[in-house]
Amino acid sequence: MTDPRGADDNADNDHDADSTDAADGPFEQPEPSHVFETPERFVVGTVGQPGERAFFLQAVGGGAVVTVGLEKAEVSALAQGMVTLLESVGQGSPARPRAVDHAPLDTPFAEDFHVSELSVAWDGERVQVEAGDGEQSRLRVMLSVTETLAFVNRAETVVAAGRPECVLCGRPAGADGHFCPRLN
């Protein structure tokens, strides 16, 4: 059996990867709307007090600033995914450099979109980070191994700067305390 393009059902996509054929279906990802091949800066940052912080990824380069919102757990998962990726391609380092960009996010900024999809990939030389909103907005950032490790170090620092954990239950404890099930 053949499809309207003349290819049989068992054949892989025979058309050019660059073509934009609507028959390709929902599995085709749109081209990123924001691409940073050589970013001047790619960092995670927060706005607000611990317990009420909003987390953001920010890419800066070529006069453009793109800021996307995400959750704390997504920041942790992204950092861990980057480490795992580097280790799997033989680029992991047991003694990671401790250089951390401590500067705040570039301001003023507005959230360009809120992340619902994150991915990391290796292109043979660099780490490719993609973030999308599940619809049309996508951010792609290419990072060297050194830039990736610096991002991971900052992400770990930012995540750890939240509320301290309760010594009894491990839940976040704020200045006003919290309900601790171990004290009940």
Residue ranges covered by each domain of the chain: 40-113+146-161
DSSP helix/strand/coil, 154: helix
Confidence check: pLDDT of 180 > 60: yes
pTM of the model: 0.75
* Percent residues over pLDDT 90 in the chain: 58
Q: What is the pLDDT of residues 9-53, one digit of tens each?
A: 444 333 333 333 444 444 455 677 899 999 999 999 999 988 889
Q: What's the CA gap between 65 and 29, in Å, rounded? A: 23
CA dist 117 → 14, 94, 167 (Å): 28, 29, 34
Residue of 123, 137, 134 whose CA lies nearest to 59: 137
pLDDT at 6: 40
Q: What is the pLDDT of residues 120-165, one digit of tens each?
A: 999 999 999 999 999 999 999 999 999 999 999 999 999 988 877 7
Q: What is the CA radius of gyration of the chain?
A: 20
Q: Are strands 34-36 and 138-143 parallel, antiparallel or unpaired?
A: parallel
Confidence check: pLDDT of 72 > 80: yes
Mean pLDDT, residues 57-79 = 96
